[in-house]
């Protein structure tokens, strides 16, 4: 009789854990952040009664906070992308300027050679 009573008590203590609803990813290793958030949202919806104003306020507050964080994250990513684009544009402009200066230098060197050649010819004519 004692063994039956002990078995019954242990069974009642452990059965809710065994029968508890588990997420889809249970037993498959570490879940992604999105999977954990989705599971938490599903559990919140099951436990919240639509008439329960306090629970609804809590859910709305959490949703607003999540939206705010998402907005900040998107803004940060947009700023990072803008910086990258500005950097690339500046890099391209500097490359173009460098090439233009290189071309100008070559042109001036050619003119210098031409002038030197003319000077030599004039000096040879004088002799």
pLDDT band at 53 (very low <50, low <70, confident <90, very high): confident
For 27-57, the three-class secondary structure string (H helix, E strand, C coil) is CCCCCCHHHHHHHHHHHHHHHCCCCCHHHHH
Q: What are the φ/ψ torsions at residue 63 (nearest 5 degrees)? A: -65, -40
Give me Rg for the CA atoms of the chain: 38
Q: Give the whole-angstrom CA distance, residue 107 versus residue 114.
A: 11
List pLDDT tens digits, range 1-11: 878 778 877 87
Q: Could you say which DSSP state residue 26 is in?
A: T
Q: Give the whole-angstrom CA distance, residue 22 versus residue 15.
A: 14
The span from the first CA to the last CA of the chain, in angstroms, equals: 136
Q: Could you say which DSSP state residue 123 is in?
A: H
List pLDDT tens digits, range 60-70: 888 899 889 99
Q: Model-level pTM greater than 0.85? A: no
Extents of the domains making up the chain: 33-100
């Amino acid at each position: 009789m004692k063994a039956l009573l002990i078995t019954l008590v242990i069974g009642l203590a452990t059965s809710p854990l065994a029968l508890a609803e588990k997420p889809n990813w249970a037993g498959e290793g570490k879940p992604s952040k999105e999977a954990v958030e989705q599971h938490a949202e599903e559990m919140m919806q099951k436990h919240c009664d639509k008439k329960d104003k306090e629970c609804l306020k809590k859910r709305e507050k959490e949703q607003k906070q999540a939206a705010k964080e998402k907005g900040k994250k998107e803004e940060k990513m947009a700023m990072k992308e803008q910086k990258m684009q500005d950097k690339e544009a500046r890099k391209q402009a500097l490359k173009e300027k460098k090439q233009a200066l290189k071309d100008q230098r070559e042109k001036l060197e050619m003119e210098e050679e031409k002038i030197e050649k003319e000077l030599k010819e004039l000096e040879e004519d004088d002799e």
